[in-house]
Amino acid sequence: MDTEASEDAAFRAEVRAFLAENLSERLRSAPRALLMIDHADQQEWHGILARRGWSVPGWPIEYGGTGWTSAQRHIFDEELSLAKAPMLSPQLNMIGPVLYTYGTDAQREQHLPKLVSGETLWCQGYSEPGAGSDLASLRTQAVRDGEDYIINGQKIWTTFAHCADWMFCLVRTSSEGKPQAGITFLLIDMRTPGIQVRPIISIDGLHHLNEVFFTDVRVPIANRIGDENQGWSYAKFLLKHERDNIGEIGTIMNHLQTLRRAARGKPFTVQRQVLFERNLAEVETDLIGLEALNARRLALAGSQGDDPVYASIIKLRASELQQRIFEMTIDLLGPYVQPSQSDLIARPAGEIVGPDWGPEAVVNYMFGRALTILGGTSEVQRNLVFRALQGSV
């Protein structure tokens, strides 16, 4: 074994020892689907990682990062996923890089320490009715009034807006020229008068999505990221990090473990056994390919910088692969495939009717349909990959 491999193996052992000592069985088994059900569990684990200095490993050292290599970060993410550690807020690694890359000194000082410690939760104000994949058509308007912007409009599908402290938000500040040219990126305190949050109960029966309405909401110009009308550039930068979150390979391994567990001891007919094993082999082969692609990306990132097209490719393949795993798992649930399973997700296993993995399987299957939509649809990702390939020819 060469020196680098030996160092990585030692680092993996260090992470596993930390998890064994600090990740309680209660947190390992906390109810979750694609997202944590209880924010208290999420933030408790965030605090444990923050005290070790591991809550934002990918950030620059001066803002709380670890200075780990790309390989070490991959090992860390993989070990946390396989240990079933609570997932931290997905917005953490979206708004954080925007702040330390484009924010003012005052914005960094105000927000970054509380993001690192887990003191504040953020939500993402991007999508609107009629402006999802075509985000440039957004209409929420911001009009200058002295040292403030006055915001009027609506956002939708806003994950965890009902418990967020802050929102990073795209607003329209100009209607001249191309639609992308008139968008501005703002930081909005969710306690500001004029903000109304209404719940959206999604197909999984849970409340993590919301509508957010803005009525004459005053936001200081000091809360603007970068220049007015240049928000599209910062939004694209942020979306690359969102696609990274969606494509986390360790999480897919976890779902695959659940699938294998669900199939264990299942009384298959010979024909169905053959079909299941063939489908499982295809899924596992695709996951190996995805791991190899990610390894190539990490290797190239060390010498050439991170190519954003990899985030699109991995997001595309990972989202579709997760959906296939969810479909195979739900097929094994048989007569227990009922929407009411989502009501059981936060109950003790003893109160669950059917397999104890059933509620999570149903919720993942239903909300998992969104994976090929959120963060940019699969069609959008294919277009991005195509354009990148055109540019390389």
- The CA distance from 256 to 284, in Å, is 8
Q: Which of 73-82, 98-107, 340-349 has the lowest mean pLDDT?
A: 340-349
* Active site annotation includes 242: yes
pLDDT digits (tens, 9 = 90+) for 57-83: 989 999 999 999 878 888 898 899 889
User: For residue 257, is pLDDT > 50?
Assistant: yes
Tokens of 259: 């699938």
The one-letter amino acid at 340: S
At 306 the pLDDT is 63
Residue 16 near residue 79, CB atoms below 8 Å: yes
For residues 281-310, average pLDDT: 80
Instruction: Write the pLDDT tens digit of every residue in 345-389.
Output: 766 666 777 788 888 888 889 888 888 988 778 888 898 888 888
CA-CA-CA-CA torsion sign (315, 318, 324, 329): negative
Query: Which of 242, 248, 284, 360 does the annotation list as catalytic?
Result: 242
Find tokens 């007569």 and name the residue: 335
Please return the burial class of 162, using the count of CB atoms within 10 Å of its CB with bins 0-12, 13-18 and 19+: middle
Bridge partners of 207?
Answer: 201
Domains of the chain as residue ranges with CATH:
3-88 (no CATH), 122-229 (2.40.110.10), 247-392 (1.20.140.10)
Higher pLDDT, 38 or 48: 48
55 against 312, higher pLDDT: 55
Can you list the alpha helix ranges (DSSP code H) found in 226-337?
A: 231-246, 249-263, 270-304, 308-333
- Does residue 241 or residue 293 have the better pLDDT? 293
**Which has more confidence, 196 or 236?**
196
CA distance 188 to 84: 32
What stretches of the chain show up as alpha helix (H) in DSSP?
Answer: 3-22, 25-28, 39-52, 70-82, 92-102, 105-117, 231-246, 249-263, 270-304, 308-333, 358-367, 378-392
What average pLDDT does the structure give for the chain?
Answer: 88
